[in-house]
Amino acid sequence: MLRGRGERGSLGSPGAGKWQRKTVSSLQRIPFGRAKPDPGQDPDPPLAMLLPSGDAATSDAAILARVRLRQVQILDGGYLGAAANIPAVMLTGFTIRSSIPASWLYLWLAATVVTIAAFIVTSRGVPPWRRDGRRDTGTLQRRLAVHVLFTIAVGGLWGGACVAFSPSLPQGQMMFLTVIVLGCNAACVSALGPYLPAFFGLSLASLAPLAYANFVRPGPAAGDLALLVVLYMVTIAVNVRLYNRHVLAAFRLRAENEALAETVMRANAATRAATRSKWDTLAHLSHELRTPMNAILGFSEVMREQLFGPLGERYLSYSGNIHDSGRHTLELIDTILEVSRAEAGQLSLSDREIAPAALIDECLRMVELAAASKRLTLDRRFGPSLPRIVVDRAKLRQALLNLLTNAIKYTPAGGRVSVAVETAEGGLDIAVADTGVGIGAEDLERCLEPFVRLANPLTAGVEGAGLGLPLAKRLAELHGGRLRIASEVGRGTTVTLHLPPERCRSAPPMNAG
């Protein structure tokens, strides 16, 4: 992986040159020819569709394919630079028109303009030989090869003009032609530099004939001009080579980042699919378990009530144990089913306007026996002028019962569990606080994950499946709210269910409990 300047493997480090030379040589050895498409594949896919996908997306071949795609896109986008050659050709023709036979000049102008126009049309992806006008993508190798051929052709036309017209041109016009050719080469550095065969095809095809044409002309000025062209060739070749290495390094870094991002996206998608599958399976299993469990509860209740005759004391006790265990199991199945539906996004709300105080009083009555069995004190504190709320009463009651049940389970005998309701942030806060064992700061996030039981010696004998808090959190989020936990080990826990402002209505004239 590429690092910043000064680190091992950076562009300025000793190890960078070897990697860059290897990368450059690998990128230049591109075979010509078109890859055969698979049967049934779209015959005209976008260029990006040619890249490897799946597990192969991060392989070396995939990274090189992405780099080649960037090269093709840069070269395809260089049609404006090619179009800039047309004014240069016209200006050259106008300048040397008095020294060159008209037929030769018009032939050169026509050939150059047609070649540049064909290059522009090909770069734009609409070749004239395609009658249906569809985008001719081909393969990345073919696209690069086409660019190389066109740059050689354009450079050859400039070089051919230098050799053919040089004997007829005076020194001033020859110097003008030399400047134009050198300028056209310099203008193509940014467009063709990312792919060396294309740049050197243009440079060698135009500058080598230019140097030769100046060298064979009489006079010392012509020789000096030929030497200047050669020095220019060497200088621009060295600079373009360095520019090419830096560009390819940037392309490769971008390609690696894109491949990594795609890998992460695929992994996230696979994780989401696996999670949905897990919860769907649990929901189906829970639904299937309800039928036999209801039968067990029904028959055990018949035995416990002795509807078909008296039972011995031992059998009567057994039937009561079966019924109680079955009820506990059915409650667990219902909880798993609700969590599964929530995780799968299959829960919906049946909203209606209710008084929060009445709902909380009902929940407190439902847990009174459990609290009394542990000699816990239940407190409630309602703020002034509580607004009415628009919620799904059954689901909010389930969330509050889960919070109260958790608080009672994890609070030692003689402790306290309290419920406070007050307005906050324009909405409503329902806080359930206890004086229980508490939760460590490092476990606050984990306790909201399904089936997570925190390792605590003080709670080793407490029954539960680790679904109460996760389900309460999902139900709060289903209402557009959130669940907050504040806890300190040994001091207790406060879980706050916040309902957003849109769930609240104006307070009634009198706060009915």
In whole angstroms, how large is the CA radius of gyration of the chain? 40
The structural architecture, per CATH, of the domain 352-454+462-503 is 2-Layer Sandwich (3.30)
H or E, element range at 126: none
Token couple for 18 = 């070897």
- Residue indicated by tokens 């026509």: 110
Compute how many other C-beta atoms are within 10 angstroms of the C-beta atom of residue 372: 11
CB of 408 closer than 8 Å to CB of 367: yes
CA distance 460 to 309: 42
Per the CB < 8 A criterion, the answer to whether 485 and 493 are in contact is yes
- The closest of 142, 121, 115 to 36, measured between CA atoms, is 142
Structure tokens at 63: 């990274």
What was the pLDDT predicted at 211?
92
| pLDDT at position 89 | 87
- Of 428, 328, 332, the C-alpha closest to 383 is 428
Q: Which pLDDT does position 35 carry in this prediction?
A: 36
Tell me the pLDDT tens digit for each residue of 17-27: 443 344 334 33
Write the DSSP assignment of 36-100 as a string of letters: PPPTTS-SS--GGGGS--GGGGGSHHHHHHHHHHHHHHHHHTTHHHHHTHHHHHHHHHHHSTTTS
Asked if 352 and 288 count as a contact pair (C-beta separation under 8 A), the reply is no
Extents of the domains making up the chain: 31-35+43-266, 352-454+462-503
In the chain, the percentage of residues whose pLDDT exceeds 90 is 19
Low-confidence residues of the chain, pLDDT below 70? 1-59, 78-81, 123-139, 279, 282-287, 343-346, 451-466, 507-513
**Distance (Å, whole) CA 130 – CA 44:** 12
Describe the strand order of the beta sheet including 482-488 as a list of residue ranges: 377-382, 416-424, 427-434, 492-499, 482-488
pLDDT confidence of residue 456: 59
CA 100 to chain centre: 61
Instruction: Report d(CA 253, CA 323) in Å as an integer.
Output: 65
pLDDT at 205 (0 to 100): 92
| Coil, helix or strand at residue 513 | coil
Element (H, E) at 10: none
Give, to the nearest 10 degrees, the angle between helix 140-165 and helix 196-215: 10
- pTM to 2 decimal places: 0.46
Shortest CA distance to 485 belongs to which of 461, 449, 457?
A: 449
Q: What are phi and psi of 396, to 5 degrees?
A: -70, -40
User: Which residues, in sequence order, are CB contacts of 482 under 8 Å at separation 6+?
Assistant: 473, 476, 498
In single-letter form, the type of residue at position 482 comes to R
